[in-house]
Amino acid sequence: MSPVLAGVLQLLALIAALALAYRPLGDYMARVYSSEKHYKPEKWIYKAIGANPSAEMRWPAYLRGVLAFSAVSVLFLYALQRAQGVLPGSLGFQAIDPDQAFNTAASFVANTNWQSYSGEQAMGHVVQTGGLAVQNFVSAAVGMAVAVALVRGFARSRTGELGNFWADLVRGTVRILLPIAVIGAIVLVACGVIQNFAGIHEVGQFLGGSQQWNGGAVASQEVIKELGTNGGGYFNANSAHPFENPTPFSNLFEIFLILVIPFALTRTFGRMVGSLRQGYAILATMATIWIGFTALMMWTEFAHHGPAFDVAGGAMEGKETRFGVGASAIFSVATTLTSTGAVNSFHSSYTGLGGGIQLLGMQLGEIAPGGVGSGLYGMLVMAIIAVFIAGLMVGRTPEYLGKKIGTREIKFAACYILVTPALALGFTAAAMALPTPPHSMLNSGAHGFSEVLYAYTSGANNNGSAFGGLNADTQWFNSTIGIAMLLGRFLPMVFVLALAGSLAGQKPVPETAGTLRTDKPLYTGLLVGTILIVTGLTYFPALALGPLAEGLAS
Amino acid sequence: MNNSVGNTARLIGAGLRALLVLTVICGVLYPLAVTGIAQALFNDKANGSEIKDKSGQVVGSSLIGQTYDLPKQAPSDPTAGDDAEEAAKPDLRWFQPRPSNGLGANSVNTRYSLILSGATNRSADNGAVNGKCTKDSEEGSLCAQVVAAKEAVIAENSTASYKVEPEDVPADAVTSSGSGLDPDISPEYAKLQVHRVAEQSKLDVKQVEKLVADHTTGRTLGFMGEPRVNVLELNTALKALTKS
């Protein structure tokens, strides 16, 4: 069997597995977020929090919950890293420097998991397992909560109420993420992912002497890192490290974990707004872009244009033998089209065009299928833009799911889509214009520019993957990427919740013969086109200077 | 005013309590439970898939690649000067893994000599001269590494009766992996080393060929990943063979 055919079969197997999980998981999540019942252990949690989980919140209250919880999380994680030197179970690692601790705290709370540190050299058990891994759960649950609040905005009428943030946060964590994580972690251990508290210890070697390993709770962190589309590796090499991703099966399983919730949430959406077909239209949009990008990535990596690959005879630099080109390409597209940023192969060493595909995937706003929760709300905002554009063409007030898209709604949607490009391009321009930041580039020329563009695109879109050549552990990059991650996560949430509140307050407009049908292939095509054009026009000049210049030169 | 300060404080308090409760669940109970189950059911794998040689000595992990280099000697030629940084020479008696000499050293935390993971992060045009990788490519660049690695693979593996041609060298033999700890090489690279290894350890080529064939793992279920040979397992078996 040729590697290309094997790659295609792996993609097909992945699609089949996702299709199998789609209905049960999507319906289950809809029940979780719609149920009136609180389980006993959940009641204890609400009691500890001091919140009434049945109290409905309007959008400002919901937003305050999101922001308060996230602000506390940033401070807690920052303090934990700063105190690492004196905490027990830290393996003797020192406190993290202030700028890097801020960057890491912002990164994990914003569901980005950009890492300017090297896991095995910097973080002990307490910070990794008690701090970073916890944010892998809760930052994902926050994303899902905001998505569900927006869905309720479409589903409800003549009320401003969007549900209860604390209930959504707790349910997302304990009813959805935790059970899947437990099962997934055991599967990963069965493949060979380590799970122990051995700390740093010596192991014998073939030619004598010994090597030093850093053991830890890797499987339990690896599974939620993928499932919550977080991406922060226990080890520096992330999911390329054999202790994080030991076999071809564990590799496909991890890609499955990355994609399963974001795709299934479209079913949840369809259920909650009372029309499964609307969910399918969104699903079709996501799947079209994802499959298209994966096919393009496989094509460019198997074709392996580039001077070093011409000599080597294949694009294997930065890729593991057990995965090869095909399984690496599938992973890298899944990770950049979601907000994951985990890597099983190193993006900086992809072909020039391959790097462009990764960049473009993030620049689309990570909506195909996107991060857990953030993918769905990002896509729904684009869906609103698409009906608005269609409405302009025929001169009608646009509607989506029985709600009028008026001035107020379109303003929130427009603000949403402006935030991340402004952050990514603004900071890139500033970094390139200043004298010192460009010193961090490892490669020169177009690829060096791509490193900086990639860093801010990844930060602002909460991805977290990197063109690793960039030395990002400087005060400039730690601070600015930290700010980009926080603003890139929470400003859009402000607009999404404001939009949700405004939609929930409307009375439904009856469907007429002139209403654009948003559950048909025509609309899916319009939506795909809108996404590509809006993003393409925004980022094309920057892409032309970086990956396109590199890719076309070879 | 007072009221809004009070509200904010209450909200922050609720956020903090929520975080602490969820930290206990997701940061303490969950990893401990998973560790318990993992240690009970998959003890060997949860602890790093160590492998032992015939004498029962642990020789590493089947998942973590090692280097098979000659011990660094005091310079035999004093006129060679003070080049203490001279690259380690491969011990050609053993099957060689993928290159990892382009990777950085532990510069962050010198307290330990942990095995480090990571990639070179070099781009495909790194060091290219006029769009080509040549011998004139800048030292340390990906171009220079790939060109040098290819030359070395051809020179080291050609024996009197077996000439390695440039087009026989697979990509994994001249590129570094993502983790820098890749435990595997492609079956093509293993086969390419058979003649050299047989000559060095005075074994029959057929015997070594069979060894490689026995240690070649195909794609999982026929389509997942790529075929591969685990270098540590192969060398452990080779050692057993040379001793018997």
Given a cut of 90, is residue A121 above it in pLDDT?
A: no
pLDDT tens across A406-427, in order?
999 999 999 999 999 999 999 9
Given a cut of 80, is residue A222 above it in pLDDT?
A: yes
Total-model pTM: 0.95
User: Cβ contacts (< 8 Å) between A65 and chain B: which residues?
Assistant: 11, 14-15
pLDDT tens across B36-72, in order?
999 999 999 999 999 998 888 999 999 999 999 988 7
pLDDT cut 70: percent of chain B above it: 88
| Interface contact flag, A48 B15, Cβ < 8 Å | no
Claim to verify: residue B59 and residue B157 sit in the same structural domain: yes
3-state class (DSSP) for residue A271: helix
pLDDT cut 90: percent of chain B above it: 69
Nearest to A166 by CA among A62, A268, A70, A77: A62
Residue among B58, B131, B224 whose CB faces A252 most closely: B224
Claim to verify: residue B19 and residue B63 sit in the same structural domain: no
Answer yes or no: is B200 within a domain.
yes
Q: Is B104 on the interface with A (CB under 8 A)?
A: no
* Separation of alpha carbons A489 and A146, rounded Å: 11
Amino acid A497: pLDDT: 98
Claim to verify: residue B61 and residue B170 sit in the same structural domain: yes
Q: Tell which of B125, B132, B233 to mutate to test the A interface (max A CBs under 10 Å).
A: B125
Amino acid A208: pLDDT: 86
Residue among A137, A200, A237 whose CB faces B118 most closely: A237
Mean of all residue pLDDT scores within chain A: 95
Q: Between B50 and B103, where is the model more confident? A: B50
Amino acid B115: pLDDT: 78
pLDDT tens across A499-519, in order?
999 999 999 998 888 889 999
pLDDT tens across B11-42, in order?
999 999 999 999 999 999 999 999 999 999 99
pLDDT cut 70: percent of chain A above it: 100
Answer yes or no: is B115 within a domain.
no
Claim to verify: residue B40 and residue B53 sit in the same structural domain: no
Mean pLDDT, rounded, for A1-5: 94
Q: Tell which of A164, A311, A335 to mutate to test the B interface (max B CBs under 10 Å).
A: A311
Claim to verify: residue B58 and residue B166 sit in the same structural domain: yes
| Interface contact flag, A348 B23, Cβ < 8 Å | no
Amino acid A45: pLDDT: 96
| Interface contact flag, A50 B121, Cβ < 8 Å | no
Answer yes or no: is B127 within a domain.
no
The DSSP code sequence of A192-203 is T-------EEEE
Answer yes or no: is B232 within a domain.
yes
Q: Is A310 on the interface with B (CB under 8 A)?
A: yes
| Interface contact flag, B15 A65, Cβ < 8 Å | yes
Q: Tell which of B7, B11, B26 to mutate to test the A interface (max A CBs under 10 Å).
A: B26
pLDDT tens across B111-159, in order?
667 778 888 889 999 999 888 999 888 888 999 999 999 999 999 999 9
pLDDT tens across A28-50, in order?
999 999 999 999 999 999 999 99
Q: Is B126 on the interface with A (CB under 8 A)?
A: yes
Q: ipTM for the complex?
A: 0.94
Residue ranges of domains in chain A: 3-553
Answer yes or no: is B133 within a domain.
no
Q: Is B38 on the interface with A (CB under 8 A)?
A: yes
Over chain B, what HEC string results?
Answer: CHHHHHHHHHHHHHHHHHHHHHHHHHHHHHHHHHHHHHHHHCHHHHCCCEEECCCCCEEEECCCCCCCECCCCCCCCHHHCCCCCCCCCECCCCCCCCCCCCCCCCCCCCCCCECCCCCCCCCCCCCCECCECCCCCCCCCHHHHHHHHHHHHHHHHCECCECCCHHHCCHHHCCCCCCCCCCEECHHHHHHHHHHHHHHCCCCHHHHHHHHHHCEECCECCCECCCEEEHHHHHHHHHHHHHC
Given a cut of 60, is residue B108 above it in pLDDT?
A: no
Q: Is B143 on the interface with A (CB under 8 A)?
A: yes
User: Cβ contacts (< 8 Å) between A215 and chain B: which residues?
Assistant: 47-48
Claim to verify: residue B63 and residue B7 sit in the same structural domain: no
CB contact burial B91-113 (16+ within 10 A = b; e otherwise): ebbbbbbbbbebbeebebbeebe
How many independent structural domains does chain B possess? 2
**Among chain B residues, CA nearest to A9:** B223
Claim to verify: residue B97 and residue B194 sit in the same structural domain: yes
Domain that holds residue B189: 49-69+87-103+144-243
User: Cβ contacts (< 8 Å) between B121 and chain A: which residues?
Assistant: 318, 346, 348-349, 442-443, 467-469
| Interface contact flag, B60 A206, Cβ < 8 Å | yes
pLDDT tens across B183-201, in order?
999 999 999 999 999 999 9
Answer yes or no: is B139 within a domain.
no
- Report CA Rg, chain B: 25
Answer yes or no: is B119 within a domain.
no
Residue among A194, A205, A311 whose CB faces B150 most closely: A311
Amino acid B112: pLDDT: 65
Report the range of poorest mean pLDDT among A265-269, A336-340, B6-10: B6-10
User: Cβ contacts (< 8 Å) between B123 and chain A: which residues?
Assistant: 306, 348-349, 352, 355, 443, 447, 469, 550
pLDDT tens across A274-312, in order?
999 999 999 999 999 999 999 999 999 999 999 999 999
Mean pLDDT, rounded, for B75-104: 71
Amino acid B84: pLDDT: 44
| Interface contact flag, A307 B132, Cβ < 8 Å | yes
Binned at pLDDT 50, 70 and 90, residue B74 comes out as low
Claim to verify: residue B97 and residue B187 sit in the same structural domain: yes
Answer yes or no: is B111 within a domain.
no
Q: Looking at chain A from residue 137 to 176, which residues have their Cβ under 8 Å from any Cβ of chain B?
A: 137-138, 166, 169-170, 173-174
